[in-house]
Amino acid sequence: MYVLDANVFIGAHRGYYDFDVAPSFWKSLISQASINNIRSIDRIQDEIISPDPKNADRLHLWTTDNFKSYFERTDSQDVIEKYAEIQQWAHSNPQFTSSAKEEFANVADAWLVAYAKSKDYILVTHEAYNPDIKKRILIPVVCRQFNVKYVNTFEMLRDLKVSF
């Protein structure tokens, strides 16, 4: 099972797989979700779906109409415990700046890694591993620290044998 970062949806929508260019990409997400190969989490849904319907873009509308039931909740005890462990590691790590730690505490990234770890899922993100960065806490750095496997969208699609 794969769990998707917001940048998988946002990057596709704003670039290489826009709805007009590659509708089959979006159909494949729904298809793969319907057979329990992919999911995302409620915190990612919050990043994609605008609280103000007047600001709804095509990604917001597609998500609401097609993918909303595939965002899993992060309020289970196992996820919360992993989340606390990840936040403790981040905040006690002298490598990261205070602003990086603050941002990490306020975005979905730690929740995403905690969910993937507690469910033994593969995390899908477009962030690249960079162990030396100080101004951001990158998902791949956290994944490696907590032994969570991660891939990018293209690796996931190949593994799932999706073609357009």
Average of per-residue pLDDT across 100-129: 97
Residue 55 pLDDT: 78
Owner of token pair 């770890």: 117
pLDDT surpasses 90 at 5: yes
**CA distance to 64, 94, 97, 147, per residue, from 139 (Å):** 25, 17, 16, 12
What pLDDT does residue 93 have? 95
DSSP state of 6: H
Q: Does the pLDDT value for residue 164 go beyond 90? A: no
User: Per residue in 24-60, pLDDT tens?
Assistant: 999 999 999 999 999 999 999 999 987 777 778 999 9
pLDDT of residue 12: 94
- Contact between residue 78 and residue 118 where contact means Cβ atoms under 8 Å apart: yes
In this prediction the pTM is: 0.93
